[in-house]
Each structure stands twice: as C-alpha cells, then as structure tokens.
Amino acid sequence: MDKRKIGSLEVSVVGVGCNNFGGRIDAERTREVVDAALDAGINFFDTADIYGGTLSEQYLAQALGSRRKDVIIATKFGYPIEGQGGGAHPDYIRVAVEASLRRLNTDVIDLYQLHRPDPEVPVADTLGALDDLVKAGKVREIGCSNFTAAMIREAEAVVTSGAAPFVSVQNHYSLLHREPEADVLPECERLGLGFLPYFPLAKGLLTGKFRQGQPIPEGTRLSGNADALTDERLAVVEALIAFAEARGHTILDLAVSWLLAQPTVSSVIAGATRTEQIHANAAAAGWSLTEADRAEVESILAAHGVS
C-alpha cells in the first residue's frame, strides 16, 4: 500500500480508526481487525485515551504484540478521563502520556495529538510540554485535532525555534462534510501539515448500507439516529452510488479515493468492526480519480446542495 508523510512518519494511505476497540468490539474481535489490517499492508492505527473507556489503547497493544515495531501508532489526549483528569495543561500532559504509554505497552508514541483545543491553557504552554516529550524520546511527532485555521496559525506562530511543531491536523471531513476546504486545508498546505479526516465515511452513510426506501440496518452507527438519514442526504448518496457503480466501483471506493485525491490528506483512518470492512477500506485506495471524475462528483454534490 502507498504511504504518505506526516512529519518524519510514513503512514499507509488507509489507516484504522480504533474508536470501536473496547466499545463496539471486544479484545478478540480487535485482534482479528488488527491482523486483517496488517495483512492488507496497513501500518497506521489511530486511537485515543478515551476510546472504549480507555480499553482501545490496551486492546490495540494486545493485538499488535511483538509487531508494535512494524506500525505507526497515533493516540490523543485532552478529553476528561475519570480519575485521571483532562485538558492541555503541561501538568496533565505529563500524566496523560505516561498513562497512554502504559496502556499501549510501548516506550514511544509515534504521533501524540491534542484531541481538542483547551481554551483555559495557552497553546504555547501545551506545545512546550509536548516538545519536552519529544526531546525525552517519549513521543516522535505531535499533532492537533478539531483546530480551526486561526488556531493552527497561532500554534505555528508561538512554537519556539528548534521546538517540535504540530505536524498534523485531524478534523471532520468527507464527501458530505467539506468545511475544512474553506481555510483549514489551505493552512495545512501552506505549513506542510498532514491532514487526517475523521468520519471519512460519514458514520456509514458512504458505505452503501443506507439506501432510499430501504430499512435502516440494525447495529450501525446511524441505526439510532434517523435524523441524520434525511431524504436529502439519501438522495445525494444514491447519486454518488450511481456514479461509482457506473465506473465499476462502490460508494466506499469513491469516499476513500476522493479524500486521497486531496493533496493535504495523509491517510484515511476509517473505523472497522469486521475484517471484511478492513479489506474493503484497503481496496478502496486503488481508484485514482481523474480530473473528469472529480469534476462530475463536484457537479453531483453541488446539485444536491453539498459544498
């Protein structure tokens, strides 16, 4: 599988979002998903300390075992954890990283990300603490998540000479949610930051499981959220399905390949609960959209009010 850069890291263009580990799937199913990902050439696993009630990091470590050296692990901190704390203050960062290192059973975190901005702590203080972790060899690269373009610029402006800067931004982005295109993606391109889209499959809407006039599948992320399945949303999904199938592909192929056609996107980190989903996600990266393809997709989205 092709790889792209995030700072000094080389990550597979399709990664695994580990938010299901410890929540929707247990340790054994996590192992099956991780095994399938490694077999497919995926080397990038993105988790967070809060996922699965802190079990995601632990289950990922157990599933990898001695193969830890073969992969890139990204995790996040900042959301509150009962008994541990939360936020982006330097004192808490020192606590959070040690907890994640223990759960991940590793000496170093490849990409350590601030999960959300902390308005109570100057970003310069957060960056200083993260730089200390890099210098101590506990973290290789640092990133941020849910940052606006203004926040990205502020972080770039206050990082001190020779200190570790953010090398990545992880925000919500998909065919159906294009907000980052306004200013975050241009800012990433200007600074050479890798962009990691979360919810790249729109919580399942872009997998082909949800169709107009058909029952909502049980056990999916959206099965209890009918408000997200409006007629308008399903209409654009049907149009995208028709576009993809006319070219011998699925809407999932389109969702992944469209994101990878954006020059700032480093890896599409889709979640999975089954090995078949890993196989489909990995295969989806094989479609190289032409300029004509992308222009037609733009027309479809514009016709349905997605911009």
- What CATH number should be reported for the domain holding residue 24? 3.20.20.100
In a domain, 58, yes or no: yes
Q: Which domain holds residue 154?
A: 3-203+253-287
In a domain, 307, yes or no: no
**Residues 6+ positions from 224 with CB-CB distance below 8 Å:** none
> Of 51, 59, 92, 198, which one is the catalytic site residue?
51
Quote the CA–CA distance of 9 and 196 in Å, as a whole number.
Answer: 13
Strand bridging mode 72-77 / 44-46? parallel
- What does the radius of gyration of the chain's CA atoms come to, in whole angstroms? 19
Residue of 259, 260, 266, 130 whose CA lies nearest to 193: 266
Tokens found for residue 181: 């295109």
In a domain, 294, yes or no: no
In a domain, 7, yes or no: yes
Owner of token pair 């890993």: 278
Contact between 187 and 149 (Cβ < 8 Å): yes
Predicted confidence pLDDT, tens digits, the chain (307 residues):
999 999 999 999 999 999 999 999 999 999 999 999 999 999 999 999 999 999 999 999 999 999 999 999 999 999 999 999 999 999 999 999 999 999 999 999 999 999 999 999 999 999 999 999 999 999 999 999 999 999 999 999 999 999 999 999 999 999 999 999 999 999 999 999 999 999 999 988 999 887 776 666 666 655 555 556 677 888 999 999 999 999 999 999 999 999 999 999 999 999 999 999 999 999 999 999 999 999 999 999 999 988 7
Strand bridging mode 166-172 / 3-6? unpaired
The count of domains in the chain is: 1
In a domain, 173, yes or no: yes
For the beta carbon of residue 81, count every other beta carbon within 10 angstroms: 16
Residue of 19, 79, 93, 16 whose CA lies nearest to 55: 19
In a domain, 211, yes or no: no
Q: Give this prediction's pTM.
A: 0.94
H or E segment at 189? helix 184-191
**Residues 6+ positions from 245 with CB-CB distance below 8 Å:** none
In a domain, 143, yes or no: yes
Tokens found for residue 168: 């990545």
In a domain, 227, yes or no: no
Q: For the chain, first and last CA: distance in Å?
A: 30
Task: Examine the residue annotation and report whether 51 is marked as an active-site residue of this protein.
Answer: yes
